[in-house]
Each structure stands twice: as structure tokens, then as C-alpha cells.
DNA sequence: TCTGGGGTCCTAGGACCC
DNA sequence: TCTGGGGTCCTAGGACCC
């Protein structure tokens, strides 16, 4: 017998986890999953998009990623709840603990999805998947779909079939019957752009893609065209990788509550982003060689600029300085709604080559920033703040409050002491 | 109606070196 | 004299995922 792979996918994850929390921890009686409801960001802070929706909300054609205002138009009685990332982390860990009882070959693919290599673990995979699904519901109160097949791609496609709370198989012999009739957009890694190009070729279903000549696909989509053809034929030999691969880059970005119109405020936001980002680098023992900033202006136009550093760094000051130089070269004065810093060229050798012209005393700054890291780890993120975030007057003060004293809120340390108990 | 935040991978042109 | 070819690095942009 060949490989047996499960893909476990939490149904409407953020919304289900919130629903369970309200029922079991807040003593509520209303189950959000049974009414049109959604998890959405705060419109006031301009984070207003739909992150997850209930199955009744889906009937109103509400889609993940669409603006909250849009969703309310489609369904005025929609019940909206704010996101709670700490709850999601706890819920995810609780799920993974159950999965670990079945195999140690588990790859966490995202906060609400995991692959399991079940090869040799079960004589009847479909039945085992059903037991797993029931156990998750019994112990944790939320439902999952489980896709069962002989590779990751097919297992993932299978878990996406009818929802919720179902096990589906998609063995190679079932590909034609279960997968080839689907719209090509539903194939993993076929997005909007590929769908459009394929439509121009007359390719609308996964089955049609599977039978399109390589030369045609390469001409249209280059190597990606050949990749999605392999997927359409159910071919995928990627292993279930229990250890997450090391980061190739680190980024931090933020939509600001109000447009940024002056460079001093922009520099402050960039400092806030650089601070969280470099703390992550130091926590991982990583350094980066390339700094890129991204801007999104009030007309929603994106722009980017990057620069390579002379020497790898994990220092807030150096990343901030590089980001500010990019900013000066890039910004044309249009009011900004979003700023980001993204870094790449990761190295993990902690020995920094001190260049002849190293302008900073690296060791001195490194010591200071490491001391701040330790303080925050021990006493919380708010224990120490830069003066610029404390003393910012007026409008800047408001912005500084949104920065959480230089630490983006979503990245605050998760308190795992409050585990889910049902 | 007014669009988040975190990633990965691929392509392509130009600079530069041998 | 006036030009090949391979390799690597840098920058920019696009597409996809959750």
C-alpha cells in the first residue's frame, strides 16, 4: 500500500472557535455558527475585512476578504464579532495535541490546517479519519473536514469538498469522477490571474487543464503552468514536513487608522514596525541583508522599494535607517494608508563581520536591544517604550497609541496559560 | 463599497566578474 | 578590436497561499 495522507481543515475556523468560546466559556446560548455571522476587523481602524463567515452567512454570498461594509449590504442582519488571535492560537494548539495522538508526522500548514502522514498507521484510513473528526468535535466542540488520499495535494483538495464535518477520500482512481469536473479555479494554486489566462485558452475545468499540452501551458504560464497541470493530474510527491522550514524573510506591515501625510509620522510608524520585526529576528537568532518598504496610498496604489545592506543585521536602528532611506526615495507625498517593512536575505550565523566602515558600534546597540527584549519578555510589552512613542503630542499621540508603544498588537506575546478546557 | 497581515516562489533585466 | 558566454547579485514586479 502506498502513502496515506490526511488533510485536516477546521470548518470556518475563526468563527467556529469564537462560537465555541462563547458557548462554553461565556455561558452564552446562541451558537454563532447557526446564524449569519462573521469575524471582521474594525472598520474604524480601517481593518474592516471579513476574516471568516458562518455557513448561513455564506448563503448571502459573503466572501472571506471582502470589505465588512460590503458584507453588511448583502446581509444587514449579519452578526459581526472582532478577531481574537490568542483564542485562535490556543484552539489551534488544542487541535494539534489531538492529531499528535495519531501520528508524529504532522505538518501544520496554517493556523487551521494540518497534513498528517498516516502511512502504516491504519488499515482503514477513511474510518480512522471519521474517528479523528468525531473526537475533535467531542473534546473541543468544533468541526473539521478531513481529506484522505495518497498525497498532500489530493488530500487538501478532498478536504475542500462538501462541508462541514465530513470525511472525503480522493484516491488517484477517483480523480476523474470527483475532481476533473470542478472549475479550474478550485485547484490549489490556480488564482484569479491564472484562471483568466486559462479561460482565454478555453480551459475552464480541472479536467481540461489536465489534458492541455505542456507547450501550450508553458507558453501561457511558464513553469507555473506545468506545475498546475501536474496538480490537475493528481501528481504531488512533496513530503509531510514535521518541522517548519526556517523563515526566508520577516515582515511587518500596518494599515494606519488615518492617512499619514507627513514624513515625521511615517518615520515613527516605520520605527514601530522595525522594532517588532527586529525583535523577532533576535528571538530567532537571524539576521537579514535586504530591507524593503511597501507603501499603499489613499488611492490604494501599492509601491515598493528595497535596498541591500552592506552587512547583515538584527538591529532596530539599522533596519529603521534603511527603511527611512527607502521611504525618502519612494514617497511622492500622496497621503498613505499603509506602511510595511519586509526583510530578506536571512542568515543564521550569529557572527557579524565587523566591516572597516561599520558606522555603529554593533555590540553596544545589540546589548541594549537584547536588554529591552528580556525586559519585555519578563514584564510585558508595555514595560518599556521609546520616548518618541510616549511624548508624541496631539495627533501623533493618537497614532502612537495605535502602535502599542512600538509593538504591533497582533504580535504580542500569547498567553498559553489559559488553555481550552471543555 | 472601499478593500488586513503574514508568508512563499517565479521571472526578468541590468550590473559586474571571469 | 568592438565583442561571446556563464554565473551571481541586485532590484522590481507578479502570482499564489492562509
**Å separating the CA of residue A68 from the C1' of nucleotide B2:** 10
**Å separating the CA of residue A5 from the C1' of nucleotide C2:** 61
Nucleotide nearest to A69 (CA to C1'): B1
Q: Which residues contact A421 (CB under 8 A, 6 or more apart)?
A: none
**Å separating the CA of residue A323 from the C1' of nucleotide C1:** 46
What whole-number distance in Å separates Cα of residue A199 and Cα of residue A58? Answer: 26
Predicted confidence (pLDDT) at residue A397 exceeds the cutoff of 70: no
Predicted confidence (pLDDT) at residue A133 exceeds the cutoff of 80: yes
**Å separating the CA of residue A396 from the C1' of nucleotide C18:** 33
Q: Rounded mean pLDDT of chain A?
A: 90
Residue with cell 537579514: A288
The predicted-structure confidence for A138-158, as pLDDT tens digits, reads as follows 999 999 999 999 999 999 999
Least confident of A239-243, A311-315, A347-351: A347-351
For position A24, what pLDDT does the model report?
Answer: 92
Q: Report, in angstroms and rounded to the nearest whole number, the Rg of chain A calculated over CA atoms.
A: 24
Asked if strand B contacts A61 at the CB level, meaning under 7 A, the answer is: no
Q: Is residue A401 part of an annotated ligand binding site? A: no
Asked if strand B contacts A47 at the CB level, meaning under 7 A, the answer is: yes
Q: How many CB atoms lie within 10 A of CB A201?
A: 16
Asked if strand C contacts A306 at the CB level, meaning under 7 A, the answer is: yes
Nucleotide nearest to A410 (CA to C1'): B5
Whether A291 contacts A341, CB under 8 Å: yes
Set of cell numbers at residue A181: 469536473
Positions in chain B where some atom is under 7 Å from a protein CB:
1-12
Strands (E), A138-219: 144-149, 167-169
Whether A99 contacts A121, CB under 8 Å: no
What whole-number distance in Å separates Cα of residue A271 and Cα of residue A82? Answer: 27
More confident residue, A359 or A365: A365
Whether A140 contacts A422, CB under 8 Å: yes
Predicted confidence (pLDDT) at residue A214 exceeds the cutoff of 70: yes
What whole-number distance in Å separates Cα of residue A233 and Cα of residue A227? Answer: 10
Q: Is residue A259 part of an annotated ligand binding site? A: no
Query: What is the bridge-based pairing of β-strands A79-81 and A37-40?
Result: parallel
The sign one gets for the Cα dihedral A344, A349, A351, A355 is negative
Asked if strand C contacts A188 at the CB level, meaning under 7 A, the answer is: yes
- Secondary structure of residue A313 in the 3-state scheme: strand
Residues of A recognised as catalytic? 113
Q: How many CB atoms lie within 10 A of CB A328?
A: 12
Residue nearest to nucleotide C10 (CA to C1'): A308
According to DSSP, residue A205 is labeled B
For position A419, what pLDDT does the model report?
Answer: 33
Asked if strand B contacts A247 at the CB level, meaning under 7 A, the answer is: yes
Residue nearest to nucleotide B5 (CA to C1'): A253
Whether A33 contacts A13, CB under 8 Å: no
For position A20, what pLDDT does the model report?
Answer: 97
Q: What is the mean pLDDT of residues A241-246?
A: 92
What whole-number distance in Å separates Cα of residue A32 and Cα of residue A134? Answer: 20
pTM over 0.85: yes
For position A383, what pLDDT does the model report?
Answer: 83
- Position A387 confidence tier, pLDDT thresholds 50, 70, 90: confident
What end-to-end distance do the CA atoms of chain A give, in Å? 38
More confident residue, A114 or A418: A114
Asked if strand C contacts A193 at the CB level, meaning under 7 A, the answer is: yes
Amino acid at each position: 500500500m502506498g502513502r496515506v495522507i490526511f488533510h485536516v481543515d477546521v470548518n470556518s475556523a475563526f468563527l467556529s472557535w469564537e462560537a465555541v468560546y462563547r458557548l462554553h466559556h461565556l455561558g452564552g446560548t446562541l451558537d454563532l455558527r447557526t446564524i449569519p455571522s462573521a469575524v471582521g476587523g474594525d472598520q474604524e481602524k480601517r481593518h474592516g475585512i471579513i476574516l471568516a463567515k458562518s455557513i448561513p452567512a455564506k448563503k448571502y454570498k459573503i466572501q472571506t476578504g471582502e470589505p465588512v461594509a460590503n458584507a453588511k449590504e448583502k446581509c444587514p442582519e449579519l452578526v459581526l464579532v472582532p478577531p481574537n488571535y490568542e483564542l485562535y492560537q490556543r484552539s489551534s494548539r488544542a487541535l494539534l495535541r489531538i492529531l499528535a495522538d495519531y501520528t508524529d508526522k504532522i505538518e501544520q500548514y496554517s493556523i487551521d490546517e494540518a497534513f498528517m502522514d498516516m502511512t502504516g498507521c491504519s488499515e482503514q484510513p477513511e474510518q480512522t479519519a471519521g474517528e479523528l473528526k468525531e473526537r475533535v468535535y467531542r473534546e473541543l466542540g468544533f468541526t473539521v473536514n478531513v481529506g484522505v488520499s495518497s498525497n498532500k495535494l489530493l488530500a487538501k483538495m478532498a478536504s475542500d469538498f462538501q462541508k462541514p464535518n465530513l470525511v472525503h477520500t480522493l484516491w488517484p482512481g477517483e480523480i476523474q469522477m470527483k475532481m476533473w469536473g470542478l472549475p479550474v479555479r478550485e485547484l490549489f494554486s490556480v488564482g484569479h490571474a491564472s484562471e483568466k489566462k486559462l479561460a482565454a485558452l478555453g480551459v475552464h475545468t480541472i479536467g481540461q487543464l489536465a489534458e492541455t499540452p505542456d507547450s501550450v501551458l508553458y507558453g501561457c504560464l511558464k513553469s507555473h503552468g506545468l506545475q498546475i497541470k501536474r496538480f490537475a493530474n493528481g501528481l504531488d510527491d512533496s513530503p509531510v514536513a514535521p518541522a517548519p522550514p526556517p523563515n526566508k524573510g520577516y515582515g511587518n506591515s500596518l494599515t494606519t487608522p488615518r492617512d499619514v501625510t507627513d514624513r515625521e509620522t511615517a518615520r515613527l510608524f516605520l520605527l514601530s514596525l522595525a522594532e517588532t520585526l527586529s525583535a523577532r529576528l533576535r528571538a530567532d537568532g537571524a539576521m537579514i541583508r535586504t530591507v524593503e518598504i511597501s507603501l499603499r496610498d489613499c488611492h490604494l496604489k501599492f509601491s515598493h522599494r528595497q535596498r541591500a545592506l552592506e552587512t547583515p543585521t538584527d538591529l532596530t536602528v539599522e533596519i529603521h535607517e534603511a527603511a527611512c532611506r527607502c521611504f525618502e526615495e519612494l514617497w511622492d507625498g500622496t497621503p498613505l494608508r499603509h506602511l510595511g517593512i519586509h526583510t530578506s536575505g536571512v542568515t543564521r550565523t550569529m557572527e557579524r563581520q565587523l566591516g572597516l566602515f561599520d558606522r555603529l558600534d554593533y555590540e553596544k546597540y545589540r546589548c541594549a536591544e537584547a536588554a529591552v527584549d528580556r525586559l519585555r519578555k519578563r514584564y510585558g510589552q508595555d514595560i518599556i517604550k521609546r520616548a518618541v512613542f510616549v511624548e508624541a503630542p496631539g495627533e501623533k499621540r493618537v497614532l502612537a497609541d495605535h502602535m502599542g508603544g512600538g509593538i504591533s498588537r497582533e504580535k504580542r506575546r500569547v498567553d498559553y496559560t489559559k488553555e481550552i478546557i471543555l
